[in-house]
Amino acid sequence: MNLEQGLVGLARERPPSLMRRRILWGVLVLLVLALLAMLVWLASLYETAQVQGRVERDAAEATGDLRAAFMRNVQSLQALQANDPTPSQWHGDAASLLREHRELMRVEWRDADLRVHSFVDTPFRAPVVDRVRRSNQQSEVLLACSTARRFSGPAYGNSYFVPLSDGLGVEVMELCLPLESGGKPAGYLVATYSLQEVLEGLLGRQVTRNYEISFTEGDGTRLAMRGSTRRGSRVFTAQHLMDLPGTALVLRIDSWRGTPDLFPNVLTALVAAMAIALVSVLILLDRDMRRRLKAENALAEALAFRKAMEDSLVTGLRARDVLGHITYVNPAFCQMVGFSVDELLGHGMPAPYWPPEFIDEYQQRQAIRLAGNVPPREGYESVFMRKDGSRFPVLIIEAPLINAQGVQSGWMSAFLDISEQRRVAELSRASQERLQATARLATVGEMASLLSHELNQPLAAISGYATGSLNLLGEGSDLTRELGADLTVAMRCIAEQAERAGKVIRSVNDFVRRRDQVREALAPQLLLDAVLPLIHLQARKLSVRVQTQVEPNVPFAMCDRTMVEQVLLNLARNAMQAMDQPHIQDRVLLLRVRRLKGRERAKWLEFSVADVGAGITPEVQQQLFKPFFTTKAEGMGLGLSLCRTVVEQHGGALVFEPNVPQGTVFIFTLPASVVA
């Protein structure tokens, strides 16, 4: 209920400004893009630092390799002077050394005064040192040897440029190695290095392939260079000072690799792709939120529409969970019982609108309902109590409440206040009674036919007695005087039958006018004796034997004598007429009276009239008690209908059943009198 109210309230709220939502989403996208740009920038800085560090390491390794190579060359040069070689032997060894070390351009053996004793040039190029050039370079050799003598070890001179005849030149550097003999200076061994060949021969091809390597002066002037670089927006450079005895060289390495790409490595590209995916997800999320907001608005409108419909209903609605607690009620139900929504929601059993006298019954019924038994679809009636204590009838229609997962989560009930229907039904019943009274007035014509029908027998008897009396009286003989007693009896019978005819007329008149009939306690035998003379008259004509059986100690019957006698007479006459068929030889009419068995049934007397006729066909049975239906040529079809009406007015019932082995038995009941 709270969720529904919240959604309805959401539908009524003013939606946020579209421009404001766009600004918020724009700021969010800009933040993500800024984060992505910062990430790429930091990754680029990291990659740049990695490349620069690699160049620095390679420069340091190259410097170390050059130092080691120079030390090995020093050892090789010292080996030339081992064992005091002869000039020719030294010349051969020096030539072999130059062939193995392309970086050495010339090796000289000088005496203590620095005069050249012997020399050998490299076989790989034309001599770059002649007598004129050497005299110009004597200062460099002198400086290097002075340093070597001071250090008592190898020393290097500063590099210098030697021009060549082809217009080119080469940058060289002198190495002076002092020689001793018996602890005294014995001369010098001078080796001339080509800095260009040093870079080509003493460094590995991997270094020269990936970098541009050069020797430079302090101001950055290149002395020798090896390798080539692919120029980019930026070149990574590393310089290392190679400190040699007597001099120092600066080794510079320029990388072939320029500034790192926008995405330096796979990790950065992956993170960038994730950031782009995040932006895409944000866009999709925005679209989904738009759709969700649209769906929420539609749902809120639908709920508002449903609530408006529920508020307009006159049928009460109530929902309960599986434990019987009320989870929803509509305004019609609250108005019906007089309780508010807050007073009903969450309330269990017994409900506040249950009458106290019906609580146990209703709890049993609800226990059966919560156990899963489905109530009848047409509903059932019950009684509820309003908050003011007044009772009113309701029609309840219940159905299982199924959730979206297909599981029953409770029960939904609809309630109809049938107080007005009950009032209308009561008015209808009263109108029906008035219609029945009117219908009785319409039976006046039927009663006229009944009078003529029922008075035929007593009038015929009167006529017979009167005719006989006239015949006797007409003889005028002594016989007339002798028959005076018989005439008296005959005239008395005439008077009785005439009186009986008058009673019949009065009873029918009372029946038509709906007057209270006079009922009296009569012995059943007395009722039979009153109709037996008339029954015997017709029985003799139809050769029917009449038998009566009255149970001993049977109580009196509380009835209208005249009307009950007419019922017995009519049933007996119908039974004798049913046996008026040639193939029936032994025609017996049985009149029996007995008291019903049982505590409640003992309050009733059972009268039965049995015949041994052909019985009643199924087609006739369906219309037997219908007015004006008859199977007789001279009949009117009112006898059995009126007989049933008379019996029902006494509170009894008139039925029929087959008589074994043949025939039919008509049975009717009358209330027994408390007076024995």
Specify which residues 316 forms β-bridges with. 415
Which strand (E) or helix (H) includes residue 655?
Answer: strand 654-658
Q: Which of 559, 570, 509, 484 is nearest to 535 (CA)?
A: 570
Specify which residues 213 forms β-bridges with. 226, 253
Q: Which of 248, 198, 156 is nearest to 62 (CA)?
A: 198
Cα separation of 348 and 216, whole Å?
99
Q: Dihedral sign for Cα 22, 24, 25, 26, please.
A: positive
Output the CA–CA distances (angstroms, integers) from residue 342 to 279, 335, 365, 410, in the order listed: 48, 13, 25, 20
Choose between 279 and 476: higher pLDDT. Answer: 279
Choose between 514 and 571: higher pLDDT. Answer: 571
CA atoms within 13 A on the CB side of 600: 0
**pLDDT surpassing 70 at residue 4:** no
**pLDDT surpassing 70 at residue 107:** yes
User: What is residue 273's predicted lDDT score, i.e. its pLDDT?
Assistant: 74
The greatest distance separating any two alpha carbons of the chain, rounded to the nearest whole angstrom, comes to 226
Looking at residue 485, its amino acid is A
Q: Domain 51-255: which topology?
A: Beta-Lactamase (3.30.450)
Q: Which part of the chain has CATH 1.10.287?
A: 443-516
Please state the φ and ψ torsions of residue 253, each to the nearest 5 degrees. -125, 125
| Residues 358-367 pLDDT 10s | 888 888 887 7
| Residues 510-534 pLDDT 10s | 555 554 567 888 899 999 998 898 8
Q: Which part of the chain has CATH 3.30.565.10?
A: 518-676
Cα separation of 632 and 629, whole Å?
9
| Residues 120-178 pLDDT 10s | 988 888 777 664 455 555 778 888 898 888 888 899 988 888 887 766 788 889 999 99
Average pLDDT, the chain: 78
Q: 3-state class of 667 per DSSP? A: strand
User: What is residue 590's predicted lDDT score, i.e. its pLDDT?
Assistant: 93
Choose between 102 and 465: higher pLDDT. Answer: 102
For 313-423, give the CATH class.
Answer: alpha beta
Q: Which range has the worst mean pLDDT, 98-102, 147-151, 229-233, 516-520?
A: 229-233
Q: Which range has the worst mean pLDDT, 279-293, 309-323, 431-445, 573-587?
A: 431-445
User: What is residue 456's predicted lDDT score, i.e. its pLDDT?
Assistant: 56
Average pLDDT over residues 445-468: 61
Looking at residue 225, its amino acid is M
Helix axes 444-454, 484-513, angle to 10 degrees: 170
User: What is residue 229's predicted lDDT score, i.e. its pLDDT?
Assistant: 56
Q: What dotted CATH number matches 443-516?
A: 1.10.287
Enter the pTM of the model. 0.40
User: What is residue 132's predicted lDDT score, i.e. its pLDDT?
Assistant: 42
Output the CA–CA distances (angstroms, integers) from residue 584 to 46, 580, 614, 615, in the order listed: 131, 8, 9, 12
424 pLDDT band, cuts 50/70/90, is: confident
Name the CA radius of gyration of the chain, rounded. Answer: 71
Choose between 288 and 266: higher pLDDT. Answer: 288
Q: Domain 518-676: give its CATH architecture.
A: 2-Layer Sandwich (3.30)
Specify which residues 394 forms β-bridges with. 382, 417
**pLDDT surpassing 70 at residue 65:** yes
Place of tokens 């019985």: 615
Cα separation of 454 and 447, whole Å?
10
**pLDDT surpassing 60 at residue 5:** no
Structure tokens at 607: 């009268």
**Which range, 40-54, 184-198, 426-440, has the best average confidence (pLDDT)?**
184-198
User: What is residue 6's predicted lDDT score, i.e. its pLDDT?
Assistant: 52
Q: Which part of the chain has CATH 3.30.450.20?
A: 51-255, 313-423
11 pLDDT band, cuts 50/70/90, is: very low
**pLDDT surpassing 70 at residue 15:** no
Q: How far apart are the first and last CA of the chain?
A: 72
**Which range, 21-25, 221-225, 231-235, has the best average confidence (pLDDT)?**
221-225
